[in-house]
Every structure is written in structure tokens, then in C-alpha cells.
Amino acid sequence: MEDKAQIQEAIKVQGEVVRKLKSEKASKEQIDEEVAKLLELKARLGGDDGKHQFVLKTAKGTRDYNPKQMAIREKVFNTIVSCFKRHGAETIDTPVFELKETLTGKYGEDSKLIYDLKDQGGELLSLRYDLTVPFARYLAMNKISNIKRYHIAKVYRRDNPAMTRGRYREFYQCDFDIAGQYDGMIPDAECLKIVHEILSELDLGDFRIKVNDRRILDGMFAVCGVPDDKFRTICSTVDKLDKMPWEDVKKEMVNEKGLSEEAADQIGEYVSMQGGMDLAERLLQDPKMSQSKLATAGLSDIKLLFSYLQLFQVTDKVVFDLSLARGLDYYTGIIYEAVLTQAGVAPVANEAQNGANSEESVSVGSVAGGGRYDGLVGMFDPKGRKVPCVGVSIGIERIFSIMEQKAEASAEKVRTTEVQVMVASAQKNLLEERLRLVTELWNADIKAEVMYKKNPKLLSQLQHCEESGIPLVAILGEQELKDGVVKLRVVATREEIDISRADLISEIRRRTSEA
Amino acid sequence: MEDKAQIQEAIKVQGEVVRKLKSEKASKEQIDEEVAKLLELKARLGGDDGKHQFVLKTAKGTRDYNPKQMAIREKVFNTIVSCFKRHGAETIDTPVFELKETLTGKYGEDSKLIYDLKDQGGELLSLRYDLTVPFARYLAMNKISNIKRYHIAKVYRRDNPAMTRGRYREFYQCDFDIAGQYDGMIPDAECLKIVHEILSELDLGDFRIKVNDRRILDGMFAVCGVPDDKFRTICSTVDKLDKMPWEDVKKEMVNEKGLSEEAADQIGEYVSMQGGMDLAERLLQDPKMSQSKLATAGLSDIKLLFSYLQLFQVTDKVVFDLSLARGLDYYTGIIYEAVLTQAGVAPVANEAQNGANSEESVSVGSVAGGGRYDGLVGMFDPKGRKVPCVGVSIGIERIFSIMEQKAEASAEKVRTTEVQVMVASAQKNLLEERLRLVTELWNADIKAEVMYKKNPKLLSQLQHCEESGIPLVAILGEQELKDGVVKLRVVATREEIDISRADLISEIRRRTSEA
């Protein structure tokens, strides 16, 4: 047992922290986090009755979604899934845990963030860390050599959660991938078309899609004199360019990674370049770059890519950017990342909001990223057969946060149900008549509600409609029953008209289909 | 290291098992299970190159969903969610894992089936075992005293998986619950209305919804002379009546549970009773039953319930059945269970298919179950505040299996995409024109595909349409381009007509909206 006095002291201190945050009107999340700590301490102290000592909270770094958040989530998912379906994608699902060895050796240093299950006898299991490795395992296991699929599911990382910045240990990923041996750059271009469509439809403000190629990066490192064994580490330094000024990046290269100043300066010149197809053409003529076969292969593909992007009508947002590096080891060709450029919508304070992409060099406002990975499936195939893949991951958690902020700021209330009509009565003893009418409506596929009270007050029935945005009320009374009508009330305008029972359903349909 | 010779011998034996199953045309699942064992053995032996020794499989008791299974799953979910929304339900989501202590003491003996996470420092966590306990935790934590919500998510049980019978360790639950203090039996009746609607719409064949009440069971035990401390154990014996004849149930009561023969016989008389409101009325007059306050309270509620069910027009399928017991401890009032009555659709071999209800006394063909649990939320509230709840869980895994069997048996192919039109060409060098046209279609929200080849053969483009059920092909050729038209081909009839580019989108919409 711990020392009670010590815990009591800690509770006192933690109580002060909470009070201070409250007086400073800190964010709800921040207060909740500190309150949770306080409750944990109190639980350790134990109670008198020994009955309710447990801590009433979700696991660290996780959260419940309330109905309002779910309504926003559903809207975002619908937009994204519609786009995937428009492009002919199928969907698959995989278990939330995999054999531990399936994940081993795929995430480098980040492997320490994997959640393991307790050994309760039997196989050693881990929670999935992303959707890409399970996808590659699925392809190899089922010997599938081509598929266009999307997968939306939660993944798990024992990261240091920064929930106040919207970063969680359990979060959604939303992946679209095209596997198969095809003619160059056509599926790659379609991935960018999809990002363009989704970000446009979600109306998140202006955005840019940065494009580069791993082979161009590697070729560039080679011609700038970076030793082969330093490609990866220098690449991950370049990756910091969206968060650090060039001077600091250069310092890291020279002082920490031991690169020559001259090589660093040459890299610095290249990574400042941005453009379109013209830049790829210019670099193909560049005396140094043109010496690298890797770089010229990558540059030719960028040219081809842009020609398809023109046909797809998305070049307005796409920029060839030599500073884009991306962290993941498994990329082998084209890489890309979409960033929001309107600071207003994506405040810097929420910089790391996209838990979904924590390993993927999230820059300020990054909302999607991906690239080509032609070697991953081969790692799972017993005969090492390769299945070329290209894909994109939509940074859905960050998009949720932005949509939530927008909903918060908007005057319009987020509806959490789709109820079209409330069946109400002004008088007593009409429960049976209400139930009869609501049954008629349900049977006609009208979304309808009735209060679970024998004699509810009309006011409380109307209030419920106001609160949950129900547009119509069907009011029953002795007179209406005698006349064979229902009083239909429009909540917004308070207009009331008598409708015959026979016409009620078509009238409700007419009035709610306009919305 | 294990003895190589020993493993090699085991591999030989296991190889025989697999060959035998294949020659006997055993089910795919059965063969897969044995092949997995074989692969595990081979992995233990190790390979020569030491490269690909891992086992390529999903964790024991889990499975991937392929696109066809996902298409069926989506259809079933849509039907169910539409029904929940028609009744005005909101939805929430909770994390896949909870603090271990949140689950402690909620599942009795079955607690041993809970998956724990490894202690990697920090909180002790477990995977959720159902959706009801997280729901109760959510209500208590957020001090919510009324809500109508649904929750569809996966739950986890380290059960002995019988995958050949469709029973898994990871499976979906699909719950609808009404929490709040309301007038008696109105929300309870709505739950039954919902079960009736869903099972009717899914078209699974005829069904019955059995209804009983925990208080009637307890009252019955009391008046039959069962000692108080034997209520629960006798109740779980009664629960076996759908799988065992009365003689065996009686034997268990008398021989194993030590009940007097006389008491058992009296119970036997009651549990053979089935009926409707009339039976409840009769039992209220029953000289013995009427002595128990618990039983009369339950019987009065059954009467009230049936009066609402009449208004909801669902009494055709509902039967008051005194043998219905259900396993879970937390029920406090009405309980119910829906069973399919057409043996053809739900073969006995699949008896335990509904993993979702493994603890809930699944009878042959059980596809939904639930009841009233007025005490669970109070277990989480620091002040023990109660929130009355009633809910229903749809046995979605079993329904998937039935739908899959139906799809298998049907001549109609399950489509895994919704693509309306394939943009194709008969001649070479038309990739750019195809990409231009498919962009037009995508931008007009038409679901369209194009092959990722520079010069695909027309035949292979048409074959792809046949295989994936795409109804239309938009064919481009030099002549069509010159004439400003597209040849629109109807895949089913092979009919081809020239449509002007200006009319193409409306023509595709017209033709695909009919379907």
C-alpha cells in the first residue's frame, strides 16, 4: 500500500491544478485530463464503503464519441466513401489485432508504440498500427495480385497522447489503395484526383497537394555527394523542412549527421525548388541530376504524372516540391501530401491534430498523404512475389476536428437524429391514439417519434422538437379524432393546418423532401 | 529447439488430414483451419533462407472480410440502421478497450473470456466484451439520464472458436437501447416493434419473438418452492429448455441442483405454457402465481406490453413463453428473444453461428435478444443513481451467415462495387481520350472506371464489366471522336447506340436510375 498521507497531499495539489484551469477557462479537454488524474489519485486512496472506488473514465488517450460527434463523423465518412465508390473501389475489413510477428520489422523505431495483448496462452497478438500492413498481409495471404480497395477502421498507437491538440491513441484511418501491375502513373494520378475531389467536396478551404518521388530524392542525395548509407537519415532531416527553417535543417545535416557543408548546400538548392511539369523538364536537363538514373526515372514519371493530372483537371492544386520527403521507409516511388493553406481553418495550435499521420511527417495543415510502395506485399509472400501498390490515407481525425470547429462556430445546430415528425397530443388519455398513429408512420417508412409518457405536456413535446430539430409535429386531440384529421404543425413557423388522415403521409413526405 | 524429426512427422500427419478433408470436399473454413495448423508446423521447422518463416494467417478465431462479404454486410447494416433511425435513435461510439476494472464483476464466470492487454506501463486495459457495459459506463460518466441510442461495433471474447460453425473471437454486436425513466412498457414495446421491423425487412423467413419477465420467473420459482439462493442456478437450467427435452432439464434440477421432484414438476407445468395476453390474465388468476407479488407485477406488465404490441401491429409474431430465461444476470424485468422458425434458412448445423449471443442462451435460430436492465448504470455511478434501461441486440453475425448462404444459393451475383459505366476503347492510343471522358463522368458524380493500361483489349474491358456487373460501357474510337459521340453499350443485351457527348451524362443517369 502507498502512503495515505502522500496521496492525500497529491490530491490537494492536483485539486489546485483543476481549480486553476477552471478559473482560467481552459479547454474542456484539458480540464477533463486533469480531473481524470485527480480521480485516479482519489481511487488509489480508496473509499469508505469500498463500493465505488473505480475510476470512471476511458483509457488514456482514448475518447467516446457523443451523438453530435458521430453525426459529423457520419457526414465526413459519407463524402469520402462516395468518392471511393465513384472510383470503383471495393472495401475489405481485417481483424483489430494481428499476429505480433506480422507487424514486426515494419515500423522501425516506432515499433515501441505498438500495443501488445497479454499472453493468455496461445498466439502472441498486437493491435494493428496502421491499415497498410494488414492490407499487404491480406493480399499475400489470399494471393491477390490486383484490387482497388478502401478500408476505414481504427488503429492503435501507444504514443504520448496530446488530446488537447486532438491527438489520440485510438484513431481512424481511411485508406484507398490500388494494387496491381499497371502502366506507369495512371493509378498514381487517380489517387491524386481522389484527394482533390475529397478535399474540394469537404469544403475545408484552399489546399495544395505536394508531390515528389523517392527516386528523385535518392538520386539527388547521390549527385550531391551524400554517402549511400546516409540516404535514410538525411532524408528524415529533409522531412523536417516543413517545421524548421533551412538553416536549422542544414545544421542538423552537418553537425549531427556529419554531412559536408558543400553537400548540404547543394541539397539546399534543390529542396527549395517548386514547380510543375516544367520543373521536371528543367531538372532532366540539369547537369548533375541528369547523371543519376534513379533521378531521371523519377523525373520522367513526374512528367508523365502531370500529363495525366492535366486530363484529370487537378493541376491547379498540385505542386512538384523537392522538399517533400515523408517518413515511412516503404515508399519506393511517387510520394504526396495534401496541406490546407488557409490558416484560419486549421490553426497552428492544432498542428498535430492528425494522429492518423503521426509517423508521416505531418506539416501544419496536412490532411492526406501517401505514395507508391512496390515492395511491401513481397515481404509477406513466401516466394517474395511483388505486388506493386500505390495509395493514399485521408487524415480523417484532423478533418473531424476542423468540421467540429466549423459546426461549433456555425449558427446552425448539428442534428443527431433524422426524425421528421413528432406524434403529440394536447389532451390527456390519448396515448393509444398516438401509438396507433406513430405505427402508421413507421410502417410508411417515415422517421417518427412519440414521447414515452401516458400524458405528456404539449409544451414539453414541442420543446423536444425545438431541441432536436424535428421539423413537424402531428397533433392529435378529441376534435381531430372526431373529424378524421391531424393538426400538422411546422415547428419553425408555428403554422398549423388540419390534414386528413388519408393525406397525412404524402403531406409529410412532401414537406420533408424539400429539406 | 524442438526435435526436427518430430516436427517433420507431425507435418506428415497434418498433411494427410488436409488431403483427406479436401478429398471429402469439406467446407472451406474447415480446410483453412487445418491448413493453418500445417503452416504453423512448417514455420516451427523453419526455412532454409530464414527469410519467410512467419505464418501468414489472421489471429485464431478471427477472419478478414473480403469485398463480397463486405457488400452483404453493408446491405444488412443499412437495413438495420435505417430502422434505428426511423425510430429516432442517435448513435455513439466507445473505445475498443476499457480500463480492466470497468469490466470486472460484470460477466460472472465468462470473465475468463476477456482479452487483456499487456501491461506496457500505465493503465491495465481489456478489450470490450460487449457494448452494454461500455454504454452503462458512458451514461454514468457523462451523467446522461435519458437517451435512445444504437451502437454497432466489434466485441472480443477468448471463446473456443468454432469457425466452421461461424463462431468467432472477434464479432459484431448491433445494439439498440432506450435509457430513461418513462411510463411502463412503452419503450419495451418499441424494442419489440424494432425487432419485428428488422426481421421482416431482412426477409429471413418466418420468426417468433418469445417474451417473458424475470419477475415472473422468480415469482414462479418462489411459489414452486425453490429456495431463494437457488433462483439463479435453476434459472440457468430452465434456460436449456430450447436445447434439451424437459426430462433432461428436470433431471439436472433434481439430481445436480438438489431440487425436490415436486418443485421440479410444478416448474415443468408452468414452463410448458405459451400464449398471449390471455395467458397473462389466466396466470393472474392462478391460485399459486397470484400469491407472488413479483409474479403479479410481471404478469400485469406483460398484459400492458401486449396492449401496446397490438397498437404496434406486431402481436402476430410475439408469444408469451414461460420457458424463456436468458443467461445474463443483469436483467431485471421483461426479457425477449427472436428465433427463426424456418429450418431451411437456418440449418441446425449452424446452431451456434451467432457468436454475438454466445452468453445469451442462443437457441436454434436465435437472431435477436434483449431485455430490461434497470440496475447496471447504477453500478457505475459514484452515488449509485439508477438509470432504467431496456434494449435489444441484433444477432448480426448469424444474419450475415444466412445472407451469405442465400447469396451463395442465388443465381444473382453479389456486386462488390457500384460502378455504372466503364470507359473503354476498341483502338490503340486513346488513353488520353479515355481519361478525359472518365474525368467528365467523375465530375458529374457518375461512378465510372477506366483500365490502367495504355492499350487494353476491348475484350478484356468487356470481360471486366461482365465479371463485376458493370451495366454500361462507354466506347470511344476514332470515328466516335470525329462524330462527337460515344458508343454506349448495354452489357446485358449487347445493344449499342451512339449518344452525343452532350447527352451522355443524362443518358447514363436515366439508364442507371432504373436499376
% of chain A beyond a pLDDT of 70: 91
B45 interfacial to chain A (CB closer than 8 Å): no
Q: Which residues of B are annotated as a binding site for L-histidine?
A: 130-132, 157, 173, 177, 326, 330-331
Best residue in B49, B81, B118, B445 to probe A by mutation, most A CBs within 10 Å? B118
pLDDT exceeds cutoff 60 at A86: yes
Residue A173 in marked binding region: yes
Lowest mean pLDDT among A63-72, A178-187, A339-348, A445-454: A339-348
Q: What is the pLDDT of residue B101?
A: 93
Confidence of residue A358 (pLDDT cuts 50, 70, 90): very low
Between CA B256 and CA B236 the distance in angstroms is 13
Question: What would be the CATH architecture of the domain defined by B421-513?
Answer: 3-Layer(aba) Sandwich (3.40)
Distance from CA of B362 to the nearest CA of A (A): 24
What is the least distance, in Å, from the CA of A265 to any CA of chain B? 40
Query: Looking at the complex, does the CB of residue B50 fall below 8 Å from at least one CB of chain A?
Result: no
If you write DSSP's letter for every residue of A173-207 in order, what string do you get? EEEEEEES--STTHHHHHHHHHHHHHHHHHT---E
Q: What is the pLDDT of residue A354?
A: 39
B386 in reach of chain A (CB within 8 A): no
Per-residue pLDDT tens digits for A59-82:
999 999 999 999 999 999 999 999
Within an 8 Å CB–CB cutoff, is residue B448 touching chain A? yes
Confidence of residue A110 (pLDDT cuts 50, 70, 90): confident
Residue B3's pLDDT band, with cuts at 50, 70 and 90, is low
Q: C-alpha A472: how far from its chain's center?
A: 35
Confidence of residue B432 (pLDDT cuts 50, 70, 90): very high
- pLDDT bin (cut points 50, 70, 90) of residue A357 is very low
pLDDT at position B436: 96
Interface of B with A in 5-34 (CB under 8 A): none
Question: Measured between CB atoms, does B463 come within 8 Å of chain A?
Answer: no
- Which among B125, B127, B109, B137 is positioned nearest to B170, based on CA atoms? B127
3-state secondary structure of B151: strand
**B98: β partners:** B126
Residue A52 pLDDT greater than 60, yes or no: no
Residue B47: pLDDT over 60:
no
Least confident of A14-28, A53-67, A425-439, B178-192: A14-28
Q: pLDDT-based confidence at B160, cuts 50/70/90? A: confident
Residue A129 DSSP code:
S
Pairing of strands B334-340, B389-394: unpaired
Instruction: Please tell me the predicted confidence (pLDDT) of residue B29.
Output: 74
- Residue at grid coordinates 444504437: B150
pLDDT at position A40 over 80: no
- Residue A260 phi, psi dihedral angles, 5° rounding: -70, 150
pLDDT at B46: 55
- In chain A, domain spans: 4-45, 67-343+363-409, 421-513
d(CA B190, CA B413): 36
Residue B160 neighbours by CB under 8 Å, 6+ apart: none
Over pLDDT 90: what percentage of chain B? 69
Reported confidence tier of residue A326, pLDDT bands at 50, 70, 90:
confident
Lowest mean pLDDT segment, chosen from A156-170, A398-412, B203-217, B467-481 = A156-170
A162 pLDDT band, cuts 50/70/90, is low
Residue B277 has pLDDT above 80, yes or no: yes
- Options 2.20.25.90, 3.30.930.10, 3.40.50.150, 3.30.1330.10; CATH of A67-343+363-409: 3.30.930.10
Residues in Cβ contact with B475 at an 8 Å cutoff, skipping those fewer than 6 apart: B424, B425, B426, B458, B486, B487, B488, B489, B496
- Taking an 8 Å cut-off on Cβ atoms, the answer to whether B118 and A122 are in contact is no
Dist. CA A474–CA A465, nearest whole Å: 11
Q: How confident is the model at residue A165 (pLDDT cuts 50, 70, 90)?
A: low
Q: Which range has the worst mean pLDDT, A286-290, A392-396, B33-37, B361-365?
A: B361-365
Among A354-358, B265-269, B378-382, the range scoring the smallest mean pLDDT is A354-358
